Amino acid sequence: MSITIDFHALQTLPPSLINRDDTGAPKTAIFGGVPRQRVSSQAWKRAIRKDFGEKFPTGYVGYRTRRAIELLANSIQELDPSIEEVEATALSEKVFKAVGFKLVKRKTTKKNAKEAEQKNDLEYAVFLSVRQIKNLAEFAVTHREEEKFTKKALTPLFDQDHSVDIAMFGRMVADAKDFNVDASVQVAHAIGVHESEPEFDFYTTVDDMVEADEEAGAAMMGTIQMMSSTLYRFASLDVDSLAENLGDQGVLAEAIKAFTKSFITSLPTGKQNSFAHNSVPELVYVTVRGDRSISLVNAFEEPVVSENNQGRRKSAADRLAREAEQIQNTYGFVPQAAFVMSLGDLADAFIEMDLAKKTTLPELVEAVAEAATQER
């Protein structure tokens, strides 16, 4: 029986530009026949990864970078200071070439023009854990006199000692499919529970010197788009897959705790200085399941409107509880454990329908990890 943890959250954002497309406009989607605000799963996954990276000691969180050659070369020199930079770089390049990675010249900018001429990077970013980099460095130093490194010898070093973020979010290596890691976490695009469209903010910059001379006019003017919505957020964590990817059962419970807290507290930082959109979820509903993962997004296929003189947040929370109850009653998908935390009375419907136990954030983090690992 596979154990999955489903995370559902309602989070209201003030006018903001938290996630934008290639034109600078807020990301949107059509759902239920109407436009909604959308925050991409990639944006929130990065925020989660950055957040829980602060919760683990060095070595448990990896690097995603095109500059892996430089990263490995530095590790080689740390391991054996007698190796010069040129040799360390050559050994590092030999490692990545041996397993099939393509190397390209580093992109040149004004700041690194001289340095870039002498450096190679990988063709695209690769996800490596600190322990994998250390293992590769040890191999390179030990076998430095060998003319060639073999893929057969190096493959196990790329495919073990995964960091927590690689174990959760997976790794895709187009040039070396043997090193792919299936993600144990699925994250949905956050989507507005009601209809909304972008608005434009017109701004000007006042020239202090001109203002002092009592002259009219602006030094600069422009527009920026923004949106405001109550978002439905969803993620699912496959506990068995996470345990397999980690290969370290001692870290499993801590990894679940870290993801639970980071899913709830993390926030993408797009245009944060301009909008200070620093909100937290008003409701979080978490289930531990032994059947299958279930999104409750269709609770909002019909756009939410304020009902009975209550705000959209309360209407959305009640709608979410009714969807959970109907799925449970219709399909018989009853979670092994369920928890809810909320501001004010937003969780009342979950309690009245006996869908979940009410908790605080610290209680929730501990309870979810315990419920998900007690059968292992």
What is the end-to-end Cα distance of the chain in Å, rounded? 10
The most confident of 122-126, 230-234, 311-315, by mean pLDDT: 230-234
Question: Do 21 and 103 share a domain, yes or no?
Answer: no
In a domain, 257, yes or no: yes
Q: What is the model's pLDDT at position 111? A: 67
Query: Do 79 and 14 share a domain, yes or no?
Result: no
Let me know if residue 179 belongs to a domain. Answer: no
Assess if residue 338 is contained within a domain. Answer: yes
Judge whether 173 lies within some domain. Answer: no
Half-sphere exposure of 361 (CA within 13 A, CB side): 14
Compute the distance between CA of residue 155 and CA of residue 29 in angstroms, rounded to an integer.
41
Is 82 buried (19+), middle (13-18) or exposed (0-12) by CB count in 10 A? exposed
pLDDT recorded at residue 360: 97
- Ramachandran region, residue 56 (left: φ > 0; alpha: ψ -120 to 50; beta: rest): beta
Same structural domain, 349 and 201: yes
- Based on the fold, state whether residues 357 and 255 are members of the same structural domain: yes
Q: If you average pLDDT over residues 146-150, what whole number do you get?
A: 89
pLDDT tens digits, one per residue of 168-214: 999 888 777 778 899 999 999 999 999 998 989 888 888 777 756 66
Same domain, 69 and 99: yes
Residue 130 is part of which domain span? Answer: 63-162
131 and 143 assigned to the same domain: yes
Are residues 56 and 68 both part of a single domain?
Answer: no
Mean pLDDT of 214-218: 68
Query: 282 and 338 share a domain?
Result: yes
**How confident is the model at residue 214, as a pLDDT?**
64
How does strand 103-105 pair with strand 120-122? antiparallel
Q: What is the mean pLDDT of residues 20-37?
A: 93
Counting the structural domains of the chain, the total is 2
> Looking up tokens 């190679």, which residue turns up?
120
How confident is the model at residue 375, as a pLDDT? 63
Q: Is 77 within the bounds of a domain?
A: yes
pLDDT tens digits for range 306-348: 777 778 899 999 999 999 999 999 999 999 999 999 999 999 9
Percentage above 90 pLDDT, the chain: 62
3-state secondary structure 259-291: HHHHHHHCCCCCCHHHHCCCCCCCEEEEEEECC
pLDDT for 55: 74
pLDDT tens readout for residues 257-281: 999 999 999 999 988 888 889 999 9
Is residue 312 domain-resident?
Answer: yes
Q: Counting Cβ atoms within 10 Å, is residue 329 exposed (0-12), middle (13-18) or buried (19+)?
A: exposed
Percent of the chain with pLDDT over 70: 94
Task: Clarify whether residues 55 and 126 are in a common domain.
Answer: no
Contact 127, 62 (CB under 8 A): yes
On whether the CB atoms of residues 264 and 47 are closer than 8 A, the answer is no
Q: How confident is the model at residue 293 (pLDDT cuts 50, 70, 90)?
A: very high
Local confidence band at 216 (pLDDT 50, 70, 90 cut-offs):
low
Kindly report the pTM of this predicted structure: 0.88
User: In the numeric block, which tokens belong to residue 54?
Assistant: 């602060």
pLDDT beyond 60 at 116: no
- Last-in-domain residue among 110, 128, 162: 162
Handedness of CA 344, 349, 351, 352 (dihedral sign): positive
Among 162, 196, 223, the domain-final residue is 162
Contact 20, 27 (CB under 8 A): yes
Whole-number Å distance between alpha carbons of 159 and 75? 18
Res 68 pLDDT > 80: yes
Neighbours of 97 (CB within 10 A): 16
Q: For residue 35, what pLDDT is reported?
A: 95
State the pLDDT at residue 132: 92
Judge if 214 and 266 occupy the same domain. yes
Q: Is the CB of residue 122 less than 8 Å from the CB of residue 102?
A: yes
Which uninterrupted H or E stretch holds 313? Answer: helix 312-331
Instruction: Give burial (CB, 10 Å; 0-12/13-18/19+) of 57.
Output: exposed
> Within a domain: residue 307?
yes
- Summary mean pLDDT of the chain: 90
Contact between residue 235 and residue 188 where contact means Cβ atoms under 8 Å apart: yes
The whole-angstrom separation of Cα 316 and Cα 284 is 12
Measure the CA–CA gap between 260 and 48, rounded to whole angstroms: 10
